Amino acid sequence: MYLLDEIDAILLAGPRSNHAQKGGSTMLKEVTKSFALMGAFTLLLSSLALAEPISIKFSHVVAVDTPKGLAAEFFKKRAEELTKGKVKVEVYPNSQLYKDKEEMEALQLGAVQMLAPSLAKFGPLGVKDFELFDLPYIFNDDNDLHKVTTGPVGQKLLAKLEPKGIKGLAFWDNGFKSFSAHTPIKTPDDLKGKKLRIQSSKVLEEQMRVIKAIPQVMPFSEVYQALQTGVVDGTENPISNFYTQKMHEVQQHLTLTNHGYLGYAVIVNKPFWDGLPADIRTQLETAMKEATEYANKIANEMNQKDLASVKASGKTVVYTPTPEERAAFKAAMVPVHEKMADRIGKETIESVYQAVNFKK
């Protein structure tokens, strides 16, 4: 206020004597100098503010030592290295911030910037095409799978998220799911009447119904206790999830049906992503590419390692179906494809069939 008062006094005084004008000139120089200093100080504060790292909160619902958990930590490391500290990635595993049903809304609201939800989560969001990944036996192995996730079909799927305010960056593998229960599982009939936990997915509900099991939708973080207390009889999981969540402690039987795929899409809040400086975005894309290669490499390795650990624990009997038994499971479950075609989209399913040369 002092500086502004001085300016007003000088401007209002009007014409002066030479002596007065010299004094006024000196005062104006002082005022100008003061404003210059203030401007420089403001610019310095702005520069410091701009130097603050960009924060990315990356939330997920599984343990750190799972393929997704490790890949998230790998992405954090590479993102911070490649941006030279301009980006800080905060990873929150094990539903520390949000549970399954909460995290998607949190992303859309901007409460977190990055997630890696299972692909089943996009159906309830309104992008039902993603439910094709829940179709039983649609992929024979990893080679079939990657023809879709790394090819044109996968990119087309990710693009369908953008109207929801979500940018899809990559697909990360977890693995193929197997059935577990308190009792032996050798045929589809062995699951008849069993309450089996599933993610929220209409396709998975129908999958359980065609084998006459009872689907039970439940957050992932609650599954161990539900198995322990008998609220549910069994579940389906990749081996890494089964082992790291200690389900082998509360499930006596595991049958390696490999009937379905569990994977993730790494997604970001689209307005946040679009608002990043172009060079930062490019560096993060590089970090994500590297993290994706790492995630998919370790997923298979970890599933094999964790399977050995389940067997070594002696708490769960692990059974490998014969080719005939596997064929019986496939024959019982493949009709789900046709039942769900109108929901997922016949064209979408057909594009996968063509990519993987699917045979019933």
Task: Kindly report, residue by residue over 95-120, the tens digit of the pLDDT.
Answer: 888 887 789 999 999 999 999 998 98
307 is written with which tokens? 């399977």
Residue 26 confidence (pLDDT): 53
SS3 content of the chain, % helix, strand, coil (to 5): 55, 20, 25
Q: What is the model's pTM? A: 0.78
Model confidence band, residue 281 (pLDDT cutoffs 50, 70, 90): very high
Kind and range of the H or E element at 318? strand 317-319
Residue 116: Cβ-neighbour burial (10 angstroms; 0-12, 13-18, 19+): buried
Task: Kindly report, residue by residue over 180-195, the tens digit of the pLDDT.
Answer: 999 999 999 999 999 9
Cβ of 359: how many Cβ atoms within 10 Å?
6
Per-chain mean pLDDT for the chain? 88
Strands of 29-76 (E only): list them.
Answer: 54-59
Task: Kindly report, residue by residue over 308-324, the tens digit of the pLDDT.
Answer: 999 999 999 999 999 99
Q: Looking at the chain, how many residues does it have?
A: 360
Q: 108 or 50: whose pLDDT is higher? A: 108
Mean pLDDT on 253-268:
97
Task: Kindly report, residue by residue over 132-160, the tens digit of the pLDDT.
Answer: 999 999 999 999 999 999 999 999 999 99
Please, which residues bridge with residue 276 across strands?
none
Please, which residues bridge with residue 170 across strands?
266
Beta-carbon contacts of 210 under 8 Å, excluding residues fewer than 6 positions away, are: 332, 333, 335, 336, 339
Residue 10 confidence (pLDDT): 39
Beta-carbon contacts of 9 under 8 Å, excluding residues fewer than 6 positions away, are: none
Residue 95 confidence (pLDDT): 87
Nearest to 57 by CA among 79, 39, 28, 26: 79
CA angle 300, 76, 236 (to 5 degrees): 35
